Every structure is written in structure tokens, then in C-alpha cells.
Amino acid sequence: MIVLLISLLLLLSLHNSTPAMAQCYDTPEGVDIRGRYDPEFAAILTRDALAFVAGLQREFRGAVRYAMERRREAQRRYDAGELPRFDPSTRFVREGEWACAPVPPAIADRTVEITGPADPRKMVINALNSGAKVFMADFEDALAPTWENLMRGQVNLRDAVAGTISFRDAARGGRVYKLDERTAKLFVRPRGWHLPEAHVLIDGEPAIGCLVDFGLYFFHSHAAFRAGQGAGFGPFFYLPKMEHSR
């Protein structure tokens, strides 16, 4: 009887807490947040920022679905013995004469680049202070995509671009870590296009993880980045798992 009562109380607690968590964030129409509420996260998940991400999702979800289906079709052909080949539709690119645009001056020197997760905070500070020319903050392979990790990563990058990021290490007697005067240039690696973000629903379906990572960072930091690190250019991104030009 006691076990049954405890189970019922737990179920009631979960039932009551889940809607409250979702309603704490100020969300635009069609957007639902299923992750834990945190005031720091709320400063990232603002109504305007979420509207920006939702706009990206609605603009590109059809193209992403098409690309994923084409990939599945190609995989079926390869499994049946077909070999990969050059895409005939891009022949004009291979045979034409063209040149890339000049590299932005801010990242002309990429002699040494390092990468690491966008969280923990202390690691981001140390990476930017490492002496490398570029630090790529990773939301993909280097970061387990938990709600906490992803949102703290966004907080870290916003503060890094603003130059206000700091960390007090209680385990080291209260030592404070902050940015040096000169830091590595910041690149950001969002998740691959194929990975969903189950904590953010847009029009009833999981958001595209890549667009969540890109959209939140770009919305909050693009102006500050161009004025500071980018010298008029950027922000800079590394897009993983790009298997095709489409």
C-alpha cells in the first residue's frame, strides 16, 4: 500500500511539473520547449530568438527532408552494389573556370586550430586562451547532446563573444578564469543536419538540431562578433556531415 501511494505521488508530480516547465519559457506560436526551465537558458531562449529558429525550420525543413530521402535512396543503391560517382548535374562546376571569394582577413592565418566541446565553461576559456589561431566550439561529436550541455554551451558562446565569460574554480581555491587580451578566433560547429532536437518542437515536430545550434548562436552574437572578432566578417561556422552539394 505504501509503495502504491508513493508511485501515485510520483506520477502526480511528473504530471504537474511537465506542463509548468514548458510554459515557463516565453515561446512564439508553434514553438514548444520540453527542456528544464533555467533563468540562464531563458536569456538564450527568448521569444525573438525562438521565432528566428522557427523561421529557419519552416524555411528549410522541406529541403532537409528531401536531402535525407535522397541520401536513403543512394544508400540503398550502394548496398545493392552501385558505386558512388560524380553528380552529372554539377558537371559545369567541375569543368568551369571559377575561384573562391577571398578569405576574410580575420581568419587568414589558421596555422593552428583546436577543437573541443562548447561546454564546460572553463574549457572554453582555456581553449580561447590557448595560443591557437582558431578554436572551434563543437556541438556535434565532442558534446553529448543533453539539454543542459546544449544550453550551457549557448550561454558560454554568447559570453565568449561578448568578452564577459569567466569561471570561478572552487576546487582551485577560488581561482578565476577569464579571457586574455588576445584570443583564438571562434568557429562554431553545429550538429549535423540529420540530428533532431527533441527538446524544441516547432509546429509539433522536433526541430532540426543544426538550425537550433546555428540559430540561437547567430541571433545573439552575430553583431557583437562582427564588431569584435570578425573585423566586419563572420560569424564563422563548420558544418559537419555535408555529403552532397544539395
pLDDT at 3 over 50: no
Q: What is the pLDDT of residue 5?
A: 44
How much of the chain exceeds pLDDT 90, in percent?
83
Give the pLDDT of residue 10. 41
Sheet holding 196-202, edge to edge: 31-33, 196-202, 205-208
pLDDT in tens, 216-231: 999 999 999 999 888 8
Most distant CA atoms of the chain, gap in Å: 79
* Relative orientation angle of helices 209-227 and 147-162, to the nearest 10 degrees: 10
Domain ranges across the chain:
54-80+111-237
pLDDT tens, position by position, 146-169: 999 999 999 999 999 999 999 999
The pLDDT, as a whole number, for residue 245 is 77
Residue 7, pLDDT above cutoff 50 = no
Which segment of 16-20, 136-140, 161-165 scores lowest on mean pLDDT? Answer: 16-20
pLDDT higher than threshold 90 for residue 174: yes
Average pLDDT in the chain: 91
Q: Which CATH superfamily is domain 54-80+111-237 in?
A: Malate synthase, domain 3 (3.20.20.360)
Around Cβ 149, how many Cβ atoms within 10 Å?
Answer: 16
pLDDT band at 24 (very low <50, low <70, confident <90, very high): confident
Q: Quote the CA–CA distance of 78 and 1 in Å, as a whole number.
A: 59
* Confidence bin at 241 (pLDDT 50/70/90): confident
For the segment 72-96, the average pLDDT, to the nearest whole number, is 93
The band of 23, judged by pLDDT with boundaries at 50, 70 and 90, is low
89-110 residue pLDDT tens: 899 999 999 999 999 999 999 9
198: three-class secondary structure by DSSP: strand
Residue 32's pLDDT is 97
- List C-alpha distances in Å: 18 to 2, 45, 148: 25, 18, 16
d(CA 92, CA 176): 55
Residue 246 is predicted with a pLDDT of 72
C-alpha cell at 237: 561556422
Which of 232, 41, 54 shows the shortest CA–CA distance to 150?
A: 41
Q: How far apart are CA 236 and CA 57, in angstroms?
A: 20
